Every structure is written in structure tokens, then in C-alpha cells.
Structure 1
């Protein structure tokens, strides 16, 4: 504790921008400022904030949100600043139990405090995101339908459907086989004329298959496997869960970074990057869950589970082949790369055919009954399904 020491100082009264030059006498728990015109005696515990400066310290009397606060600047050495801060903290700790706890934390070693903060944030974050999972349970399924309906309207204006009697028959029979008997969703499948080997589902149960996937499929099993995967996304409410988690993540990061970022664009960028990374992780987790659930659907109906695995394996091989072609003959095949490699890469970005995913699928398939190969439609009808939108594909490649 500093006793009867005098320091050069200056006092800002919170009204005038011109400070009063004077001296400060520190005597235990009190500070006495003296200048040519004034004499202030203030208890150390009255100061709400203590900040170190390059040439001493600064004590602020009132919280920022009240009004412009009177401020006392003291010019002293680093060691004297540490002693002053220690004296100020001891005075603040004596005010209440809450103050004692808060200012005890402030006295902690920065490294220890950082590790403790990281631990607390991790624990709170874990339960926070677990809580977000529960939030979806309180959102009615009608919200999923409304969300899907709004997207469907946009889809139908932007893409050309090329459904046929063969595709309608195939997917109608496939849905009867795969959709769980207790499902609360109404599923429909439509084919979009596009060479991209992709498929996706909306939260209202509407599933879209791009004709490229049907054209490239090696068997009915592959298409059935992909269909089961998309049904799983809807049944597990991945769209709504992802929406809730994305919103919750953005809110959490904004609260940590703080509101009113002003011109600190790097903090805004950090918030966006953090949100994007976490949302992508959620998407990958949901893809894994959809894989597992689709295998369960197929096994429960005694359907073969090999099709889904073989399809993703082929997509992975096609991506590798296109990447090699891009390196060796990029100038000659620029147009083909744009239409094929990029499309497959886009597909894999939402349906990641990683080695870990393949291993998971293989282990799931090996467990329990394998299932039998069942033809949903006859060979002739399947050929019609596979030739869907071929005219569109040819015209698109010209």
C-alpha cells in the first residue's frame, strides 16, 4: 500500500476539455488532488475504473454510460502504477462479496485467466448449442412446410421440370417403399433438366432430382439410395435445425464480439467467418446423420444398401478424374471443366464424399442384414427413367 506519496497529476472535471494541473497525495485508501484553484479528497473505492497508461495511470470516477466522467491522471513509474492498482483493487474488493469475486479474477495471471475463460466459454458454448437443438422441438412442422413452400415457388420459376410418366411411376413406387409409415410429411419428387448429378430436398417434402443424376446412375439402387438420403434430411428436420443453429450462432458471436462494431470491419468479418464455419460443420453433421438414417430406412424395408455407397464413390472418382484433366489440359477443355468438374465439385461441397464418410457408410452397411436387390420398376421403365431429359442434356452441351 502506498502511504503519503505525492505524484504529478492532472484532473479533468468532465465539463471542460482543459485539465487542472496539480499534484496527488496518496494516503492509504484516499487520494487528495490539489491545484492552484481546487482541493479534492476522494476515496479510492469511489473510482469505477483504473487504466494503465504509458506514463502512469488513469482513474475514472463515473461509469461511461452515465455522463462524461471526471478523470484523474497520475504520472508515475510502472512499479508505482502496479502498487496503485493493487491498492485500488483491495478497496474495491472490500465493498461486497460480488466485488471481491470480480476483482479477484482481475488479479489473476493473464495466462491462467485466459485458460479459465476458454474453459468457461467451451462449457457454456456446449450447453448453448445443445439448447439450440431443443429449440426445434418447439417449432411446429407447419413452419417447415411454409419454409419449403416459399423456396419451391422460386425453384419452379428458375428451373425447367422434365417429369415423365416413367419418372412419376418410379418415384411414386420408391416413396411407398422408403418413407417411414409414421411420417408426418407429404413427399413429392420432381426431375429438373440439368446435367448436374445432384439431388436435394426442401423442408416441405418436395425433392428434386437433376436429370444428370438419373442419366449417370448405374442402377436403380443408386437412385433409391440417394432418395432415402434426401427423405432422411426432411424427416430429421435438418433445414429447420440448420436455420435455428445458424441464427443462434450469429447471435452468440455477435454477443461475444459486442454490438456497435462501428468501423471495425475486421470484427464484422470475423463474425461472418465464424458463422460460416459453424454452419458448414452443422451441414456436415447433418449429412452424416442423413447417411445413417437412410441406411436404416433401406434395411427396415429389406432393400439393398450398396447403391448409396457406390454412387458417392463414383462421384468421388469423377471429381478426381476431372481434377487431373484440369491440370493436364486446362486450356483445351475449359468449357468441359466448367460444365462437369465444377458441377461435381459443387455437388460434393454439399454432399462431401470424404474418406471418413465412405468408411462410415461401409461400416453401417456391414452391420446387420444386407438387404436384397429389389427392382422398383421394370427394366424397360428404368431405361425410360434413365433417358429423362437427354434432349435437354444434348442441347446444353452444344
Structure 2
């Protein structure tokens, strides 16, 4: 506690930009500023804010309704500043229970306070994003269809489909077996001519397969496994849940850093996210959920569950460059097409063939009975499926 200790000081009265030079006498919880023509005696409780400076501290008085709040600047050592701040905080803590809590937090070690703040933010963030999952339940399925329809129009205006009777028959039969009986979605599959071995689904139930996946598939069950995976994305509403999460994240950032992101208002940002909903790649949790659900669909119909795992294994080989010469030629062809297919890949729900996902799939497949049905069409029809878009590819190579 200070007892009649004097410090060099200056006082800004809130009217003039020129401060009054003088001294401050600190006694207990009272400060008395004295200059050539001014004498102010104030209780430390009258100061609303305390700020440390490089050469002392600043105490801001309670704001006045007609002028800026006066400021008392005291020049002192760091140790004296800490003691003055301690006196000010103790006085504030005695004013109310809320003040006691707030200023107790202020007194904490910065490192401890940082850890606690991070913990609180993490807990709040966890429940916030968990809550966003519930929001999707209140969004009608018609919204999924509308979003998917808008993307489908763009897709089919830019990229050439090469469906055939064989592909129509194959996917029609596969959909009959895989799609849950209580599904509220209408599914349809089309083939796009591209050497990229992939597939993706829109939120309206429209599923696209690249011809490269069909051309290079080793069996019907591989394609069936990928189809089941894409159906699971739609049934679990991953597109809409992605949109809600993205919108919720945008809103949270807006609340923290101010309205809008950069120069964009929140609603404008949310609209932009909505228009490019499928640019957002599915999270690992969504991919795992789609894997698990697809295995459930296949087992329910006594269909083979090995196809999806086989597909991922081959994708891993392609990614690592360990495939045989034929696979390498396909990879080269895919790379050549990738620049022209950038507009497609923006919409992809990708299938990263990670070892972790394959291990998860192995466990899922081993549980319960293994499906036996590996084919949904005859071998001759399957051969036609595997050669789909070949004419298009040959014409492209000329």
C-alpha cells in the first residue's frame, strides 16, 4: 500500500489536447493530482480502466456525458505500476460479484489465462458445431434437391455424357438392390467421358461416374461398392450438412472479427458458399460414415462388400506410382485430362485411399455376414459397360 508517495504525472482533462503537467500523491486508495493551477483529489474507484505503459500507467476516469473521459498518466517503475494496478483491481473486485469474477480473471497469469481461454473456446466450439448438426434436421429435403438441380444444370451444360444401354441397365439394376427401401431420394446415374477414375454425387440424387473408373474396374463389385458409397453421401445429407457447417463457421468468424469476411457481408458470403456447395470436400468423418453406411447397404442385400476396399487399394497404387505399366498409362492419360477437368474436380466428393480408411473398411467388412452377390448384370453387358466412352476417347486422341 502506498503511503504519501509522489509521482510525476500529467492530466488530460478531456477538453484540451494539451495535458496539465504536475504530480500525483498516492495515499491508500486516494490519488491527488496537483499542478500549477489545478488540484484534483480522486478515489481510485472513480477510474474505469487501468492501462500499463512503457514508463508507467494510465488511469481513465468514468466517462462524462458531455466530453471525453479524462485521463491521468502516472510515471513510475514497473514494480510501482504493478502495485498500483493491484490496488485498483482490489477496489474493483469489492464493487460486486460480477466485478469480483471479472477482475479475478484479469489477475491471472497470462499463460494460465490463455490456456483457460483456449479450453473454453474449444468447449464452446465443440457444442456449437455439434449443434449445427441438428440444424440440418429442420431443413426440408426439397432444399437438397434444389441445390443439386442447380449444380446439375451447370455440369451437363459443360461436360459430355456418354451413357449407353449397357450402363443404363447396369446402374438401374444396381440402384434397385442398393438404395434403401425407405429412401426419400430419386437416384439416377450418368457417365462422363474422362480417364480420371472417380465418381461423385449431387445432393439431388444425381450420381456421375467417370468412364475411367468403369474402364479400369476389375469387377462389377468395385463399381457397386463405389455406387453404394455415393448413395450413402446423399442419404446421410452430407452436402447439406457441409453447407450448414460452412455457413455456421462463416457466421462464427463474422461474430468474432466483425460483420462480413473481408469486404463481404455475411449473407453474401453464405450465398457464395451455397452456390458452390460441392466445392467443399467431405470431411474424414463424413467419408467414414459413407463407408460404414455403404457396407450396411450391401450386406442388407447379400451383396459383396469387397469391391469398395479393392477400389481403394488400386487408387492407392495409382497415387503412389506402384501400379503396373497399364495402370501407369492410365495415370498419364488422367493427368493429361486433369487440366481440362478442373471444373469437374471442383465438384468431387473425393475418395482418398488412405491406409487408415482401408483398415476401417476391413474391420467393417469382417463384422457380420459377408455378401455373396458380386454381379447385377451378365458378363456380356458388363464388358459393354467397361468399354463405355471408348469411342469418345479414341476421337479425342486423334
Tell me the residue number matched to 1:127: 127
- Aligned-partner Cα distance in 2 for 1:350–1:7: 68
Tell me the residue number matched to 1:339: 336
TM-score, length-normalised on structure 1? 0.86
- Aligned-partner Cα distance in 2 for 1:54–1:324: 68
CA displacement at 1:239 relative to structure 2: 0.5
Cα distance per residue 1:64-115 (max 9 Å; x no partner): 9997432221100011000100010011111110000110111112222222
The reply to whether residue 92 of structure 1 matches residue 89 of structure 2 is no
SS in 2 for 1:358: helix
Tell me the residue number matched to 2:227: 227
In the alignment, is the contact (CA less than 8 A) between 1:194 and 1:392 conserved in 2?
no
CA displacement at 1:374 relative to structure 2: 3.5
In the alignment, is the contact (CA less than 8 A) between 2:170 and 2:376 conserved in 1?
yes
CA displacement at 1:349 relative to structure 2: 8.6
In the alignment, is the contact (CA less than 8 A) between 1:175 and 1:187 conserved in 2?
yes
Tell me the residue number matched to 1:362: 362
- 80 and 261 in structure 1: CA distance in 2 versus 1, 3 angstrom threshold: farther
SS in 1 for 2:23: strand
Cα distance per residue 1:256-313 (max 9 Å; x no partner): 45569989xxxxxxxxxxxxxxx98961110111000000000000000011100110
CA displacement at 1:243 relative to structure 2: 1.0
Over the aligned positions, Cα root-mean-square deviation in angstroms equals 3.1
- Aligned-partner Cα distance in 2 for 1:63–1:85: 19
The reply to whether residue 15 of structure 1 matches residue 15 of structure 2 is yes
Tell me the residue number matched to 1:27: 27
- Aligned-partner Cα distance in 1 for 2:144–2:331: 40
In the alignment, is the contact (CA less than 8 A) between 1:162 and 1:389 conserved in 2?
yes
Cα distance per residue 1:11-54 (max 9 Å; x no partner): 22233322221111222222222222322233222222211111
CA displacement at 1:366 relative to structure 2: 0.8
SS in 2 for 1:208: strand
Unaligned 5+ runs, structure 1: 264-278
- Aligned-partner Cα distance in 2 for 1:119–1:375: 52
- Aligned-partner Cα distance in 2 for 1:260–1:191: 40
- Aligned-partner Cα distance in 2 for 1:173–1:88: 78
- Aligned-partner Cα distance in 2 for 1:64–1:174: 76
* Aligned pairs, number: 376
Tell me the residue number matched to 1:303: 303
- Aligned-partner Cα distance in 2 for 1:262–1:291: 37
SS in 2 for 1:177: helix
SS in 2 for 1:234: helix
The reply to whether residue 188 of structure 1 matches residue 188 of structure 2 is yes
Tell me the residue number matched to 1:377: 377
In the alignment, is the contact (CA less than 8 A) between 1:57 and 1:73 conserved in 2?
yes
In the alignment, is the contact (CA less than 8 A) between 2:254 and 2:261 conserved in 1?
no
Unaligned 5+ runs, structure 2: 264-278
- Aligned-partner Cα distance in 2 for 1:153–1:64: 62
Moved more, 83-92 or 56-65: 56-65
Tell me the residue number matched to 1:110: 110
